[in-house]
A and B are shown apart, each in its own frame.
Chain A
Amino acid sequence: MERATIRVNGIVQSVGFRPFVYRRAVAHGLHGTVRNLGDAGVRIEAEGQPDAIDAFLTDIKNNPPPLARITSITVDREHTSESMFETFEIVESQSGDSGGGSIPPDTAICENCLADLRDPESRYHNYWATSCVDCGPRFTVVESLPYDRHTTSMAAFPMCEECRSAYENPADRRYHAQTIACCNCGPQLRYGTVSDSQTTDPAVSEAGRDRFPDTLLETASGKEAIKKAAASLRDGKLVVVKGIGGAHITCSATDTDAITRLRNRTDRPEKPFAVMASNIETIQSFTDLSSTERDTLNSFRRPIVLIEATGSGLADRVAPDLHTVGVMLPYSGIHYRLFDRIEEPLVMTSANLPGQPMLRSNNSIVDGLDEVADGFLLHDRRIVTRCDDSVARIVDGERRLIRRSRGFAPTAISLPNNGEMSALAVGAELDVTAAILEKQECYYTQYVGDVDSLDTLAYLKNAIQRLLDVTGTEWPSVVVHDLHPAFNTTDYAKELVDSGTVARAVSVQHHHAHAASVLAEHDCHRALSLTLDGVGYGPDGTVWGGEVLDATRTGFERVGSLAPVPMPGGDKATTHPARLTAGILYAADPDRVEAILERHDVQFPGGDRERNVVIQQLESDVNTPQTSSAGRFLDAVAALLGVCTRRTYEGEPAMKLEAAAARGSPHSLSAPISSLNGRRVVNTPQLFTELVRLRSDGVSVPDIAATAQETLARGLADLAIEEAEIRNCETVSLSGGVAYNEHIASQIRDSVSNAGLSFITNRRVPPGDGGIAYGQLAVVAAQPSH
C-alpha cells in the first residue's frame, strides 16, 4: 500500500473541487482526506494501491471540475504498511502558508441550477439565489480564506434542514456548495419605492445581512417583488436592480422616453448604455452575431459584448450615434426571474454617483439614487466586494477585453517572471485595474475606475487589500507605477514606500507598459510596438500617445510617432475636441486656422469667443502642451467633421468617428512621413490639411472619417514595418485604447501581415489602460534577478 500527500494549487476552492476529489477517491477505492488550505490551495491524503493512486492523480490532472484551474500539483508518495484512515472524508478547512492561488470569479448561474429554478417540482423553483459548486457568486461574497460558508456573506443565512442534508450528501449536486440556499433559508428579495431617503439604521443587520432600509415604501417580497419590479419596468419606470457584485439602474431598452429620463436623471447625456436581453434570439433581433460574439456572450463569465447594431429592436437613444451596442445575457437568477415577466431587453447601466464607485449596500443604493430611480429591487445578501460588469469587443475576429472584471477577477494571468520577484502594479489614472505578481502568476483586481476621485482612490486601496486577502499573499516588496508625476497612483506608490509597506517603488513609462503587456502575453522578446492611445506622460515631459517603440520588456527606443501638435488648454482640449482641430491646423499653417475653422463651421462649446481665445492662446503659447497622441488626432477629425464637438464620456469623439467611418469608404491618400529629432513621424498636420481639402471638395463625412482612420493606420503601420526591417525585428505589436478601433486595428494587421512580419496584440488583458498594470509588472519581472 502507498500513502500520497498531494498539494494542489490554483483555483481549487469553491469550485466543487473537494466533492470531486471525494467522488474520484471513492471510485478508486482510496481512503484519506481532502481539505482546503488557508492560502486557497487544497491538500489531499490518499491511501491505497499504487495503480489506484496513479489513476486518481490522472483524474485530478485531466478532468477537474469546470471552474477549477490547476496551476501546480505536488505529490509525495511513500510505502506504508499501517493505514491511517478507514474512509475518505472531506475535512474542515485549515489555515496554511501563502501564495497558492485564488478563489474563482463570480460565474453565471449554470444550466442545471437554471433548470431547477424553472422546475415546478424542484424545491428551488423560482428561487433566484440558487447556486451550486459550479456556479454563483464567489469573489464578491468571500471575506477571507479559506473559502467556506462562514467566511462568506452567506454566513448570515443558516442552512435549513433540507439544504443541510443536500450539502452533506455526496450524491447531491450541491454537496459542499458553500453558497447553497433555498427560499426557506437563503437571501430574500424586496421591492419598494422611496421618496427622499436618508437612512439612519445600520447598513448590516445583526444577523449580518444587508438590511432593507426603513425608507423603502410600498414594499413587496419574493415573487411579488419580481412582479412589481417588472410591472414598473413595463410602465417605463426606472428601477434599480441589485445583482451579484453591484447594482444597475434599469429601464426598458425599447422605450425612448424612459431612456431619456434615465439620461437626464443620471446626467449621462450621450453615454452608451449596456443592454441585457433574455436570450440570444432577442439579441439577434437587433444585431448580427458572429459565432465568436455568441460564444463570448454565452460564456459563464457573461461579459457585456459590444456588437454592431443592425436591426431596429432598440430605441435610438440606447447608444447615440454609435454603430455598436453593448449587450449581455442574464447572469443572476434575479435577471432570469425578471425576464419571466418582461419580453423586451432592458437597459442596464451601473448604479453609481458621478465619479464614484458602484453602490453596493442597500442603504447607499437607496440614499444615493432616491432622486434617480422610481423603484428598487433589492436583496439582503451583502456584497463584500463590488465588481463591475466586464466589457469585451470582438475586433478583427478576436476577443479584446475593454474591461476585465466580473467573471474574470481575481483569476490570474500567467506572466513570465525572471526571478522570484513579487510586485504590485497600480496602473495609471483612468480605467485603473491593479495587479499583483507572485511567481509566474499575475493576479488582477476587478475594474476600479478613474482614481482622480478620492472615493475611487480609496476603492483602489481596498481592492488591492482584498486581492492580497483572497490570494493569501503578503505585501510584495516592489510597487510599480506610471511615470506621470501628478497621478494619484504615483503618490500612492510613494506612500507605500514611505510607510514601509513595500521596500521600493519603480516607475514605468506609460507606453512602455502598453508595449510590454503585449510582449509578456505572447512571451515575445522584442517587437516594433505601436502604442496608440489618448495620453501618456513621455520621458521628455510632452504628451505621448501615437508611438512607435522598438521595445523589449526591459527597455525601449522611440523610433517613430505622430508629429507633435499643440493642445491648447491642456486637458480642456480633450473635452473640447475642436481645440485639437485648431492645434493641428496651427501646426500646419498658423495663418489659415481661423479661415478653416470658420469655413467648416467647427463648433467650440464656448462659441466664437472660445475659438478666438484658442487662436490667441496658440499664438502666445499659453498652457499649450505638445502631444503626439493618436486619440487626440481622431478627436480633432471628429470635431472638424462635426461628428462630436463636446466630449461627455471617455472616448466619445473617436467612437463616434468610428461609427461615422463604418458608413463610408476611404479615399486613397498616402500618409505623409517626415523626420523629427532623428525619428520618423507621421505628419499629421499635413494629413489633416488633406482631410480639410476633401471636406472642401464636398466629400461625405463618413468617407472622410474612413479616410482619416485608414490613412493614419497605414502611416503608422508603414513606419513600424520599415523600422522593423531596418532593425531586423520580425514582429510588430499593437496596444493602447486605439486598438479597440476595428478599422484601424485590422488595417494595421493587414499591412503587417502583407509585409511578411508577425503581428501580435492583447488578448488577455485590455489593450487600454486596464492593461497597464500587467505591462508594468511585465517590465519589472523582466529585470535581471538580483
Chain B
Amino acid sequence: LEHGAGGEATRKLVAETLASGFGDPEDAIVGLTGMDDGAVIPVGEENLVLTTDSHVIDPPFFPGGDIGRLAVSGTVNDLAVMGATDVRALTSAMVIEANYPVAKLERIADSMAATCEEANAAVVTGDTKVMGNGEIDGIVINTAGVGVAPHVTPDSAVEPNDVILLTDSIGEHGISLLAEREGIEFGSDLASDVKPLNDLLARALEVGGKNIKTMKDATRMGLAGALNEIAEKSGVGIEIREERVPVTSDVKGAGEMLGLDPFQIANEGVAVLAVAPKSAENVLDELREHPKGENAAAIGKGIDDHHGRVVLDTGIGSRYLREPASEPAPRIC
C-alpha cells in the first residue's frame, strides 16, 4: 500500500519494476524513464505529448468537485505542464462496480463533460467495464490525453536564479478531502479547488515562451513533493520563502489541528513554474490577470547550492523541505 502514496516508494516501484522492461523509444524527448508528467514524442516538426492516469478517490463526491472533474483535470494538467496546453483528445475508460447507482454515474458523466468544455477538450473514445460487487470499490476512471507542445517544459530544466512561481494557494484539495472522508469538522468551509489549468498555463506560455523552463502540477505529494522532484531532476537547489507561499487561513488552521504541513498536502489544480528571471515578472502578472491565477506568487528561486534539495527559508532560519514520507515519523524529542 505504501507504494500508492506517490513518494519515493512509488518512484522506486515504477523505475525498477514497471518501467525497466519497456525502455524508451529512441526519439522520445521525455520518456517513461524520465517519470515526468507525460511523455513527449516528436512527430514531424511537432512534440506530441501523451499521458495517462487512473483515478480512484474516496469519497467520489466532495466539496468543490467529484471524480469526474478530477479525472479530466488530472490528465489535462499533466499535458499542460509538459507544454501541451492545447488538448487534442482525451480517452476515458471506466471500471464500475455492478450495483453502482446510475444517478451517480450520470452526475460523473455530466461533470466530465462540463470540465472538458472548460478545458476546451473532448473525450474522443472510451470503454466501460463492469465488475462484480466487492471486486472493486465503486468506480475507477482512467483517462489518457494527447496534446502538442510547441515548447516542452520538463521537470529537469530548472537553472540557478530561475524564479519559482506558484499558480494558486496550496492544500485545499487534500485537506478538504481528508475532512470529508474522515468526518473531521474544523468549523470552516473547506473545499477542493480541483480544476483544469491549461487555459491559465497557455496564457503564461504566450507571455513567457521559452523563458518558462519547467512546469509541474503539484499533486499527490504536495508542493514539497513537486519541488523536490524538479530540484532533483534539474540538479539544482531550490530556495523557497515560506511567507510568500499562499496558504488560506482555513488550510493553515486545519493543518495545525492535524499536525499536517500544507506543503505536504495534495493538490489538484495548482502548478509550479520555473521562469528565467527576465520574464518572471511578466509571467506572474499575466497569471494574476486570470481568475485561476489570482493568488499566484513568486515563492523562490533556483540556487547553485544544496543540489537536488529544497531549502525553506522560514524567516527565522532555514531548513530542508522534505517530501512527505509514506509513514511520517516524529522527530522532535
Contacts and interface: CB of A to CB of B under 8 A. Distances in A.
B189 interface: no
Given A568-B259, A622-B258, A535 B333 contact: yes
B325 interface: yes
Contact of A455 (B185, B317, B327, B332): B317
Given A606-B256, A622-B184, A452 B333 contact: no
B182 interface: yes
Q: Top 5 A-B pairs ranked by shortest CB distance?
A: A569-B259, A534-B333, A572-B259, A620-B182, A355-B317
Interface in B281-297: none
A449 to B, nearest CB: 12
B257 interface: yes
B328 A570 contact: yes
A571 B330 contact: yes
Interface in A515-546: 533-537, 541, 543, 545
Given A354-B316, A453-B319, A454-B311, A620 B183 contact: yes
Interface string A620-644: 1011010100010000000000000
Interface string A340-361: 0000000000000111100000
A622 B333 contact: no
Contact of B258 (A484, A537, A617): A617
B186 interface: yes
Given A570-B259, A620-B184, A625-B327, 19 more contacts: A354-B316, A429-B331, A452-B331, A454-B318, A455-B318, A534-B332, A535-B330, A535-B332, A537-B329, A541-B329, A572-B256, A575-B332, A606-B256, A610-B257, A613-B257, A617-B258, A625-B329, A625-B330, A769-B333
A430 B185 CA distance: 34
A568 B311 CA distance: 27
* Max chain B C-beta neighbours (<10 A), residue from A487, A614, A622: A622
B11 interface: no
A556 B258 CA distance: 35
B187 interface: yes
B185 A616 contact: yes
B320 interface: yes
Contacts of A545: 333
A614 B256 CA distance: 11
A646 to B, nearest CB: 13
Contacts of A769: 333
B260 interface: yes
A573 B329 CA distance: 12
B257 A606 contact: yes
Nearest to A575: B332
Nearest to A545: B333
Nearest to A579: B259
A132 B257 CA distance: 58
Nearest to B315: A354
Nearest to A627: B330
A106 B258 CA distance: 47
A419 interface: no
B258 A452 contact: no
B178 interface: yes
B322 interface: yes
A535 B330 CA distance: 7
A484 B333 contact: no
Contacts of B187: 609
A291 interface: no
Contacts of B322: 486
B327 to A, nearest CB: 5
B332 A623 contact: no
Interface in B302-320: 311, 316-320
Contacts of A428: 333
A614 B330 CA distance: 17
Secondary structure at the B interface, as helix, strand, loop or mixed, is loop
Contacts of A623: 258-260, 328
A543 B330 contact: yes
A612 interface: yes
A739 to B, nearest CB: 13
Taking residues whose C-beta sits less than 8 angstroms from the other chain, chain B's interface range is 20 to 34
A623 B311 CA distance: 24
B323 to A, nearest CB: 10
Contact of A355 (B186, B316, B328): B316
B333 A430 contact: yes
Contacts of B185: 612-613, 616
Contact of A574 (B178, B258, B332): B332
A756 interface: no
Contacts of A430: 332-333
Contacts of A202: none
A616 B331 contact: no
Contacts of B260: 623
Nearest to A451: B319
A567 B330 contact: yes
B325 A485 contact: yes
A536 B332 CA distance: 9
Contacts of A575: 332
A631 B319 contact: no
Contact of B331 (A455, A487, A569, A613): A487
Given A485-B329, A631-B333, A609 B317 contact: no
Interface string B151-188: 00000000000000000000000000010001111110
Q: Could you say which of A486, A617, A737 has the most chain B C-beta atoms within 10 Å of its C-beta?
A: A486
B317 A453 contact: yes
Interface in A545-575: 545, 567-575
Given A355-B316, A622-B258, A623-B259, A616 B333 contact: no
B173 to A, nearest CB: 16
Nearest to B327: A541
A429 B322 CA distance: 15
Contacts of A581: none
A613 B311 contact: no
Contacts of A385: none
B308 to A, nearest CB: 10
A432 to B, nearest CB: 11
A650 interface: yes
Contacts of B256: 572, 606
A768 to B, nearest CB: 8
Interface in A111-127: none
Contacts of A572: 256, 258-259
B328 A625 contact: yes
A571 B332 contact: yes
Contacts of A541: 327, 329
Contact of B183 (A453, A616, A737): A616
Contact of A543 (B311, B325, B329): B329
A510 to B, nearest CB: 9
Contacts of B319: 452-454
A471 interface: no
Contact of B317 (A353, A570, A614): A353
A746 to B, nearest CB: 23
A680 B21 CA distance: 48
A762 interface: no
B184 A454 contact: no
Contacts of A486: 322, 325, 329, 331
A350 to B, nearest CB: 16
Interface string B106-144: 000000000000000000000000000000000000000
A603 interface: no
Contacts of B183: 616, 620
A363 interface: no
Nearest to A543: B330
25 contacts: A353-B316, A429-B331, A454-B311, A454-B317, A455-B317, A486-B322, A491-B320, A533-B333, A535-B331, A543-B329, A568-B259, A569-B259, A571-B259, A571-B331, A571-B332, A574-B330, A606-B256, A606-B257, A613-B257, A616-B182, A620-B182, A620-B183, A620-B184, A623-B259, A623-B260
B316 A622 contact: no
Contacts of A353: 316-317
A616 B317 contact: no
